[in-house]
């Protein structure tokens, strides 16, 4: 079973879940007005269905990985979020005006084993005239003021982009949750028009066992080790760097698309597939 079949399987499950909602009368706005209670019930049922679909997808990847060495991501257990935290909730893939903007983070808080991780984001089309600037912001749950605010020069090409915290001498504090965002700004005087994608990151020091496994692993195996251990940011960084170094290795993009899909980034995975058909390579640009 190849990656395209897996994508079709997931979309089929999603469509099936939507059909279930419709059969209970939740989807027909023309027949009745949803009450707040019904809205909350619909949202809860949808979230539960999405979680169940994600479990099905992950199990499918695990079965494939035994024979085809497909990458499998195991989300970490982080517990319930602090109700008093100052960071925002993640809003990842934003599709507006036929333009997809997405930070490359999972639905939950992604963890990193490095105090200065590389943060990746994706843009489906070049931004030249529609927006005045692009802004990167990093916020901490322990501070009201941003840890880092950076403007990215325009024009900017489509594809994968990265921001290295090491370039800005920024160190994440252990076990502190951060939110980072990319905003396409149309009018600096009216920020309500911004297109914003955001995600969460937490620095969790890797165990001595993980460090030993990484040292003993070949370069092409490191994304697998990080993914199985739940370290999202190292897994995706290693994969994208290897794709840049080995543009002819077709297995690497498939592993990246599998990683994206398991994290709920299906729109990016589908767009990446189209990009590969167009250019046969993935390029990452450093901001």
User: For 250-266, what is each residue's pLDDT tens digit?
Assistant: 889 999 999 999 999 99
**Residue 98 preceded by cis peptide, ω within 30:** no
- pLDDT tens per residue, range 115-143: 999 999 999 988 877 889 999 999 999 99
Domain ranges of the chain: 3-68, 94-286
Top-confidence residue, 52 or 124? 124
Q: Are 109 and 200 in contact (CB under 8 A)?
A: yes
In the structure, what pLDDT confidence band is assigned to residue 16 with cuts at 50, 70 and 90?
very low
Confidence of residue 276 (pLDDT cuts 50, 70, 90): confident
| pLDDT at residue 70, rounded to an integer | 79
CA dist 237 and 49 (Å) reads: 30
Q: Which residues pair with 120 in a beta bridge?
A: 162
CATH superfamily of 94-286: Immunoglobulins (2.60.40.10)
Tell me: pLDDT of 77 over 70.
Answer: yes
Confidence bin at 275 (pLDDT 50/70/90) = confident
Tell me which long-range contacts 124-128 makes (C-beta under 8 A, separation of at least 24). Answer: 124/99, 124/100, 124/158, 124/271, 125/98, 125/99, 125/100, 125/158, 126/155, 126/156, 126/157, 126/158, 127/99, 127/154, 127/155, 127/156, 127/184, 128/154, 128/155
Asked if residue 79 has pLDDT above 80, the reply is no
Note the pTM of the prediction, 2 decimals. 0.72
CA 175 → CA 87, 205, 233, distances in Å?
14, 8, 15
Backbone angles phi, psi at 219, to 5 degrees: -55, -45
Residue 3 pLDDT greater than 80, yes or no: no
Residue predicted with more confidence, 256 or 281: 256
Task: Flag whether pLDDT at 97 surpasses 80.
Answer: no
Average pLDDT over residues 106-111: 94
**Which pLDDT tens digit goes with each residue over 184-239?**
999 999 988 899 999 999 999 999 999 999 999 999 999 999 999 999 999 999 99
């Amino acid at each position: 079973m190849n990656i395209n079949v897996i994508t079709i399987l997931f979309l089929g499950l999603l469509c099936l879940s939507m059909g279930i909602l419709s059969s209970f009368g939740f989807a027909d706005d023309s027949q009745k007005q949803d009450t707040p209670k019904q809205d909350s019930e619909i949202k809860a049922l949808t979230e539960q269905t999405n979680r169940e679909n994600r479990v099905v997808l992950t199990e499918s990847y695990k079965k494939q990985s035994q024979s085809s060495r497909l990458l499998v991501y195991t989300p970490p257990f982080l517990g319930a979020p602090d109700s008093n935290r100052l960071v925002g909730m993640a809003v990842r893939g934003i599709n507006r005006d036929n333009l997809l903007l997405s930070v490359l983070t999972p639905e939950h808080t992604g963890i990193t084993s490095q105090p200065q991780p590389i943060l990746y984001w994706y843009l489906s089309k070049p931004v030249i005239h529609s927006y005045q600037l692009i802004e990167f912001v990093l916020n901490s749950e322990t501070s009201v003021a941003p840890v880092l605010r950076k403007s990215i020069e325009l024009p900017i090409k489509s594809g994968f982009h990265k921001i290295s915290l090491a370039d800005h001498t920024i160190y994440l504090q252990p076990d502190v949750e951060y939110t980072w965002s990319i905003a396409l700004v149309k009018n600096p005087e009216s920020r309500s028009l911004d297109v914003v994608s955001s995600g969460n990151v937490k620095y969790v020091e890797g165990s001595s066992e993980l460090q030993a496994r990484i040292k003993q692993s070949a370069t092409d195996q490191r994304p697998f080790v990080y993914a199985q251990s739940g370290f999202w940011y190292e897994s995706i960084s290693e994969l994208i760097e290897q794709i840049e170094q080995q543009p002819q290795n077709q297995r690497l993009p498939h592993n990246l698309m599998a990683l994206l899909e398991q994290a709920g980034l299906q729109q990016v995975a589908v767009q990446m597939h189209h990009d590969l058909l167009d250019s046969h390579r993935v390029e990452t640009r450093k901001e």
